[in-house]
Amino acid sequence: MASAPANNLPIFYNDLIPLNSQDHADYKTQPVDSAPFLANQHAIPLTVDEFVSAQRFTPIIFSAGADSVPLALMGLNEGINVFLDDEGKLNGPAYVPAYVRRYPWMLAKLRPDIDELSLCFDPTSPALGAFEEGQPLFEDGKPSELTEGVLKFCEDFEQAAARTGQFVRDLQEMDLLMDGEVAIQTPINDQPFVYRGFRMVNEEKLRDLRGDQLRKINQSGMLPLIHAHLFSLQLMREIFEAQVSQGKGPIAVPAAPAAPTPVEA
């Protein structure tokens, strides 16, 4: 049974193997009520299709570096996710990114010289296995309705990821992304807590766009996405306050940035 290379795997994934009717004929899937792999993740890749829904619950930022990706910020410090408890269960209203809902599945190339993508899964996930009970992945040697649905979800995710990549490239071409900084003043510290290490849309440059550029981003549907991103940044303080209320807040001016390294999608 061929495995995907162990290196360069996306976050959450420990391994990837292609699903096939021979090796996994008796595999079933069972529901899980927690995501412990997510409990210590503070920034999750997000597609543009999710901006409007996500901006109600979490700040949307862009990772630092040349290859920026949008991120749903679930904590201001690395290792902190204010939306989940220590067992990986949701502790209140939240938006769960499609990147998380896709796990343990994803489409991947089995060979670098072939463009075709195959449905693969992480065999370390407790949601899949040769269980006595659960929903089968294959019926009469063919993919079950559930598996067909998983495949469609993964295909839709790849298409959304492609749209997201184009969105970021358009922002970069118009030089609309800048290094971000958020300062939060609290009674517990004389100096504000300053978070850096992420990118955001430059509102001043957005206002100064030429008419043809503004028309382009309006007609392409970029403008509502940019506004969703900018509106969501108001939630930074709420995330900070949630960290404090959960006993995860800083006690001195932190050195850790909000999103210190790019997260590969």
The pLDDT tens digits for 144-199 are 999 999 999 999 999 999 999 999 999 999 999 999 999 888 877 778 888 999 99
Per the structure, the count of domains in the chain is 1
What confidence score (pLDDT) does residue 87 get? 85
Does 258 have pLDDT greater than 60? no
Q: At a CB cut-off of 8 Å and minimum separation 6, what does 188 contact?
A: 251
Determine, yes or no, domain membership for 98.
Answer: yes
Section 199-219 average pLDDT: 92
Nearest in space to 104 (alpha carbons), one of 53, 139, 70, 153:
153
Determine, yes or no, domain membership for 1.
Answer: no
Determine, yes or no, domain membership for 262.
Answer: no
Does 220 have pLDDT greater than 50? yes
Does 143 have pLDDT greater than 80? yes
Q: Give the whole-angstrom CA distance, residue 240 versus residue 45.
A: 20
Determine, yes or no, domain membership for 99.
Answer: yes
Determine, yes or no, domain membership for 51.
Answer: yes
Helices (H) and strands (E) in the chain, counts: 7, 15
Determine, yes or no, domain membership for 198.
Answer: yes
Structural domain for 26, as ranges: 17-245
The distance from CA 258 to its chain's CA centroid, rounded to whole angstroms, is: 15
Determine, yes or no, domain membership for 40.
Answer: yes
User: HSE-up of 27 (CA within 13 Å, CB side)?
Assistant: 23
Determine, yes or no, domain membership for 260.
Answer: no
